[in-house]
């Protein structure tokens, strides 16, 4: 089944304790991205990747890191989490990069609810 | 950069009525406009999309219209059903960028 898989689905942790949220897709998609969803703010992009070893900042990259060493995986890293990073996080992927007239739908994972105390 | 505004933030309709959600965008170079539906506790899922070379697209009870001159696009749901209750997000993809900007969402409630 074609899907985007995120882990963990839920995590409660404390300020300053490094964490990684994994994201994997099995559709051979080139483009992957991370969003955070907060009430009244919609989905805001954190980072995106157009292909292996190519990553770029989205709207709200502060406090996050990403890497794209393999096509299928795009982990989100919080080196020193803070309470303002408590949010619902979604990973998404699409076949190709979104710009240059190639706009296409993104497929979303089931989300990771992160609480940082 | 692109800015997408979505209205209304909440919408309540009676079953069988129509619902309309409107979005405006700022970047005239944006050329792809998807709509996502997010049910409670679930992931956003694409329900319909439109490209800038098309003015209207329909899929059963759902339609999207695009006015490039005014830089706005709308989602129309006819004959609403309780299972249409969800949060709906519009989005825009600029031609000269590789991100997708989302509106803040509309919570639609369809009352039986």
pLDDT in tens, B3-12: 899 999 999 9
A109 vs B: CB within 8 A: yes
Which of B94, B100, B103 lies at the smallest CB-CB distance from A106?
B100
Q: State how far the Cα of B42 lies from the Cα of B24, in Å rounded to an integer.
A: 26
H or E segment to which residue A23 belongs: strand A19-25
* A101: pLDDT strictly greater than 90: no
* A100: pLDDT strictly greater than 70: no
Chain centre distance of CA B109: 15
Per-residue model confidence (pLDDT) at position B94:
82
Residues of B at the A interface, defined by Cβ within 8 angstroms: 1, 6, 9, 31-32, 34, 42-46, 49, 51, 89, 91, 93-105
User: Residue A37 forms beta bridges with which residues?
Assistant: A43, A88
First-to-last CA distance in chain A? 36
- Determine whether the interchain pair A98/B98 forms a contact, defined as Cβ–Cβ distance below 8 Å: yes
Using 50, 70 and 90 to split pLDDT, how confident is the model at A97?
confident
> Please, are residues B46 and B61 in contact by the beta-carbon 8 Å criterion?
no
Predicted confidence (pLDDT) per residue in B8-44, tens digit: 999 999 999 999 999 999 999 898 999 999 999 999 9
């Amino acid at each position: 089944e074609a899907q985007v898989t995120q882990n963990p689905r839920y995590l409660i942790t404390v300020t300053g304790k490094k964490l990684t949220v994994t994201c994997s897709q099995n559709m051979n998609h080139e483009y992957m991205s991370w969003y955070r969803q907060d009430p009244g703010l919609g989905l805001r992009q954190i980072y995106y990747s157009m292909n292996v070893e190519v990553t770029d900042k989205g709207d709200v990259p502060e406090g996050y890191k990403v890497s794209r060493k393999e096509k299928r995986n795009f982990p989100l890293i919080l080196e020193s989490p803070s309470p303002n990073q408590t949010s619902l996080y979604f990973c998404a992927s699409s076949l190709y990069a979104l710009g240059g007239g190639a706009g296409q739908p993104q497929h979303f994972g089931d989300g990771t609810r992160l609480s940082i105390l | 950069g692109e800015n997408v505004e979505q209205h209304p933030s909440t919408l309540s309709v009676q079953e069988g009525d129509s619902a309309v959600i409107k979005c405006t965008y700022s970047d005239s170079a944006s050329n792809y406009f998807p709509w996502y539906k997010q049910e409670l506790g679930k992931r956003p899922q694409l329900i319909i999309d439109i490209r800038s070379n098309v003015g209207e697209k329909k899929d059963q009870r759902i339609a999207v219209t695009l006015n490039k001159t005014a830089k706005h696009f709308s989602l129309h749901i006819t004959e609403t059903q309780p299972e249409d209750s969800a949060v709906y997000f519009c989005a825009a993809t600029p031609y000269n960028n590789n991100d997708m900007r989302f509106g803040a969402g509309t919570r639609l409630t369809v009352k039986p």
